[in-house]
């Protein structure tokens, strides 16, 4: 690459004489010039085209839920678990470390707006045959500074600041994800415990029926097939217990990892059943997602950062002015070192003449990155909307499903009661009574599992709505990794 440059050098010995008026005017001019940014990007509309005004299922315009959603479950146990996760979760620690890296990049980029100073010192000794030894001591100070005429450095700094804010929102996105995963794991443990309790109850019921049938068989009131069928039902119930107990332990181990603890960590989960589902949260408007979802904010900030990168690439195509200066003291004796000094001042104006299109390609690349991030931003916004819509319809239909299961269970219990009466009266076989009993047991287990799924849909809804319960990572319980 060829470039043109203008260099001005001034060498002064023992004294510097500068016109104060020229100095003031020069300083004012420079401050004015690099206070302007020539290629400031245009503003963008944060709302994508065709973005809906209301949700399809809940069009009311109630204010959006903004608090710590897990507190709605009114469980100090869940609050404590999520608090521990915020303190020690590995993914959160990694995300926080990434945020600190972004902060360092901002500081590094901001440093280019200030002069750079470096110092040096040296000592040499010369011995020549037939002459005295000569010792030389030198001290020096050098400075360099690029005047940011076109705003290239400030554009890069602004881009890094926006990137840092995006990293802060990435941290919040991870915090919301961790909170949701902890809540889901907690629900799974409670649902498994509830299922274990029901299986134990089922074993007791089958054991009592077994004893009753054996007595009826001894009296000739039941067949051997009735007894064998009941033994089979009891054996099946007993076989369910070990796998459920293993499942509970595995879920506890997974939750321990979410808390940043090793498997087998004492979680102190004392609750034995799932809590009641709280009323539906205030969803607000789709436009609220632009402010409440940290992943949406992060994508928007990275888009703006890419726009500022375009500004920096454009500014890089224009000439740059650099100032440099150095002062050197040297003498053969220490007491004379400050009496022999030289100051060099230089100004370099450098600009591209021919670079085979490299800088133009940098601008085109920056624009392409901005286009990519625009598509990513719009995709993130619509994905947020999709998350809310899907969570709403899932919860709505899951409520209908669990309600229908409850009604079916009620009818099955009445049917089993009637089948038992008819069997004891000798009007029907034991197989019909057993069939009704097995149907009730299967429905009970299915209802427990489907209620757990309903809770997860609610958690997904809370997560998809976002919230401003921690807009600053420093507001989190977790501020420094442990």
- The pLDDT of 227-243, averaged and rounded, is 92
pLDDT given at position 59: 66
The count of other CB atoms within 10 Å of the CB of residue 232 is 12
Does residue 250 fall inside a structural domain? yes
- The predicted model gives 296-309 an average pLDDT of 95
Mean predicted confidence (pLDDT) in 383-412: 95
Give how far Cα 233 sits from Cα of 197, 205, 282, 429, Å. Answer: 17, 10, 47, 16
User: Residue 71: pLDDT above 50?
Assistant: yes
* pLDDT band of 40, cuts 50, 70, 90: confident
The answer to whether residue 177 sits within a structural domain is: yes
Tell me which of 144-148, 152-156, 185-189, 389-393 is least confident: 144-148
Torsion angle, CA of 180/183/184/187, rounded to 10 degrees?
-160
Q: Which of 43-47, 151-155, 183-187, 235-239 is the least confident region?
A: 43-47
Mean pLDDT, all residues of the chain: 83
HSE at residue 131, side-chain half, CA atoms within 13 A, is 7
pLDDT exceeds cutoff 80 at 169: yes
- The answer as to whether 325 is a domain residue is no
For residue 388, give every residue at least 6 positions away whose Cβ sits within 8 Å of its Cβ, in sequence order, or none: 55, 283, 286, 289, 461, 464, 465
Find the mean pLDDT for residues 248-271: 93
Residue 332: what pLDDT? 58
Q: Are 322 and 91 in contact (CB under 8 A)?
A: no
Asked if residue 346 has pLDDT above 90, the reply is: no
pLDDT number for residue 67? 73
pLDDT in tens, 216-234: 888 888 889 989 989 999 9
Structurally, how many domains does the chain consist of?
A: 1
Spatial CB neighbours of 100, under 8 Å, sequence gap ≥ 6: none
65 pLDDT band (50/70/90 cuts)?
Answer: low
Query: What is the per-residue pLDDT for 9?
Result: 40
pLDDT at site 133: 65
Tell me what pLDDT residue 37 has. 53
Separation CA 452–CA 177 (nearest Å): 18
Tokens of 182: 């902890």
The pLDDT of residue 478 is 41
Give the Cα separation of 91 and 455 in Å (integer). 24
Please check the confidence at residue 200 and state whether its pLDDT lies above 90.
Answer: yes
Among candidate residues 4, 30, 13, 5, the one with its CA nearest the CA of residue 345:
13
- What confidence score (pLDDT) does residue 128 get? 62
With respect to residue 336, please indicate whether it lies within any of the assigned structural domains. no
Quick one: average pLDDT of 292-305? 94
Residue 116 has pLDDT above 90, yes or no: no
Q: Is residue 353 part of a domain?
A: no
Q: Which residues on adjacent β-strands are paired with residue 321? A: 147, 349
Lowest mean pLDDT: which of 88-102, 337-351, 392-406?
337-351
* Residue 300: pLDDT band with limits 50, 70, 90: very high
> Does pLDDT of 287 surpass 70?
yes
Give 206: exposed, middle or buried? Use CB within 10 Å, 0-12, 13-18, 19+: buried
| 64: CATH | 1.20.1600.10
Q: Is residue 196 part of a domain?
A: yes
Q: Provide the pLDDT for residue 472.
A: 53
For 14-27, write each residue's pLDDT tens digit.
Answer: 333 344 444 444 54
Q: Residue 167's closest CA among 105, 241, 219?
A: 105
SS3 readout for the chain: CEEEEEEEEEEEECCCCCCHHHHHHHHHHHHHHCCCCCCCCCCCCCCCCCCCCCCCCCCCCCCCCCCCHHHHHCCHHHHHHHHHHHHHCHHHHHHHHHHHHHHHHHHHHHHCCCCEEEEEEEEEEECCCCCCCEEEEEEEEEEEEEECCCCHHHHHHHHHHHHHHHHHHHHHHHHHHHHHHHHHHHHHHHHHHHHHHHHHHHHHHHHHHHHHHHHHHHCCCCCHHHHHHHHHHHHHHHHHHHHHHHHHHHHHHHHHHHCCCCCCCCCCCCCCCCCCCCCCCCCCCHHHHHHHCHHHHHHHHHHHHHHHHHHHHHHCCCCEEEEEEEEEEEECCHHHHHHCEEEEEEEEEEEEEECCCHHHHHHHHHHHHHHHHHHHHHHHHHHHHHHHHHHHHHHHHHHHHHHHHHHHHHHHHHHHHHHHHHHHCCCCCHHHHHHHHHHHHHHHHHHHHHHHHHHHHHHHHHHHHCCCCCCCHHHCCCCCCC
* pLDDT at 419 (0 to 100): 92
**Structure token pair of residue 85:** 């996760």
Structure confidence at residue 2 (pLDDT) = 40
In a domain, 348, yes or no: no
Confidence band for 352, pLDDT divided at 50, 70 and 90:
confident
Look at residue 108 and tell me whether its pLDDT is greater than 60: yes
> Mean pLDDT across the stretch 39-66?
78
In this prediction, residue 176 carries a pLDDT of: 93
Instruction: Please check whether residue 155 lies inside any domain of the structure.
Output: yes
Q: How far apart are CA 217 and CA 219, in angstroms?
A: 5
Residue 456 has pLDDT above 90, yes or no: yes
Residue 475 has pLDDT above 60, yes or no: no
Quote the pLDDT of residue 13: 39
Q: Between 343 and 184, where is the model more confident?
A: 184
Residue-number span of the structural domain to which 416 is assigned:
50-117+149-318+364-475
What is the pTM assigned to this prediction? Answer: 0.83
**Does pLDDT of 356 surpass 70?**
yes
Residues 6+ apart with CB under 8 A from 279: none
């Amino acid at each position: 690459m060829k470039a043109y440059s203008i260099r001005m050098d001034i060498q002064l010995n023992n004294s510097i004489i500068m016109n104060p008026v020229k100095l003031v005017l020069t300083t004012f001019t420079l401050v004015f010039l690099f206070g302007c940014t020539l290629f400031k990007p245009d503003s963008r509309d944060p709302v994508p085209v065709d973005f809906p005004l209301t949700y399809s299922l809940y069009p009311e315009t109630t204010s959006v839920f903004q608090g710590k959603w897990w507190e709605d479950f009114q469980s100090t146990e869940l609050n404590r678990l999520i608090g521990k996760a915020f303190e020690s979760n590995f993914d959160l620690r990694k995300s926080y470390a990434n945020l600190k890296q972004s902060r360092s990049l901002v500081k590094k980029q901001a440093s280019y707006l200030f002069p750079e100073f470096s110092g040096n010192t040296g000592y040499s000794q010369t011995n020549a045959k037939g002459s005295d030894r000569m010792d030389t001591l030198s001290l020096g100070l050098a400075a360099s500074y690029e005047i940011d005429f076109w705003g290239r450095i400030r554009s890069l700094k602004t881009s890094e600041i926006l990137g840092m804010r995006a990293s802060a929102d990435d941290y919040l996105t991870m915090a919301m994800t961790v909170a949701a995963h902890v809540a889901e794991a907690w629900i799974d443990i409670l649902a498994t415990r509830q299922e274990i309790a029901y299986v134990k109850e089922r074993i007791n019921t089958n054991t009592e029926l077994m004893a009753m049938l054996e007595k009826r068989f001894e009296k000739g009131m039941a067949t051997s097939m009735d007894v064998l069928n009941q033994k089979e039902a009891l054996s099946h119930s007993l076989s369910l217990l070990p796998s459920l107990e293993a499942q509970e332990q595995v879920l506890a181990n997974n939750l321990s990892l979410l808390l940043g603890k090793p498997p087998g960590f004492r979680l102190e989960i004392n609750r034995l059943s799932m809590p009641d589902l709280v009323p539906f949260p205030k969803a607000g408007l789709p436009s609220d997602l632009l402010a409440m979802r940290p992943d949406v904010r992060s994508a928007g900030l990275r888009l703006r950062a890419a726009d500022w990168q375009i500004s920096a690439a454009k500014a890089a195509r224009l000439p740059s002015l650099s100032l440099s200066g150095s002062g050197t003291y040297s003498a053969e004796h220490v007491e004379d070192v400050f009496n022999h000094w030289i100051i060099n001042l230089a100004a370099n104006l450098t600009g591209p003449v021919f670079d085979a299109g490299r800088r133009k390609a940098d601008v085109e690349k920056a624009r392409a990155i901005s286009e990519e991030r625009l598509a990513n931003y719009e995709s993130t916004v619509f994905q947020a909307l999709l998350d809310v819509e899907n969570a709403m319809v899932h919860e709505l239909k899951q409520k209908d499903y669990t309600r229908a299961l409850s009604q079916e269970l009620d009818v099955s219990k009445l049917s089993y009661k009637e089948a038992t009466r008819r069997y004891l009266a000798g009007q029907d076989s034991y197989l019909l009574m057993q069939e009704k009993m097995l149907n009730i047991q299967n429905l009970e287990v299915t209802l427990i599992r489907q209620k757990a799924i309903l809770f997860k849909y609610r958690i997904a809804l809370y997560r998809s709505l976002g919230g401003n319960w921690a807009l600053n990572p420093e507001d989190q319980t977790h501020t420094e990794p442990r």
